[in-house]
Chains A and B, each alone.
Chain A
């Protein structure tokens, strides 16, 4: 079956540090891949997405590249801010009706 594996958190960083959150997946077919962010007490917000191999999704300084050969979609940001503190979820979608498979989430804590 389909699955998403993320690195465990929490990940604690100082402001302006480089952030990487690893995400690998197992899926049949050709999934679309997503990163969602959840701020404390809130629902999920789409951060970025990629729908086919070698696509790069980017938003708010975050980037992730769809790597089919390594079945990965690692999230990166060059210089994090305190406001980036949140839980980040990697997700895939193979079902045309919209079902998502989420990773376990990675909590990121950025300190001043």
Chain B
């Protein structure tokens, strides 16, 4: 079945550093989504990507939809303590565009040292 593989599994960085994480799949996706989940909360959408090659920013966050449609990356610049959390990539099942039926990666846990 479809699977999303995220790397790295966890990161421990110094405040102010840039962060990069990625997500790969053996299947093609039409949409890539990046979420952040804080402890005790549901995931919150950070960035949505709808087109191969698309590069989108949201403040200090930048994400790209890979040309092959099988990968995506998320960069965070100048990290701050509130960036701590678990970051998930996700994509709709079976090449659809229904963003309510998502496959999620296993997450990248980010810890930031002040």
- The answer on A and B forming one complex is no
Please give the residue numbers on chain B whose beta carbons come within 8 Å of chain A beta carbons, in ascending order. none
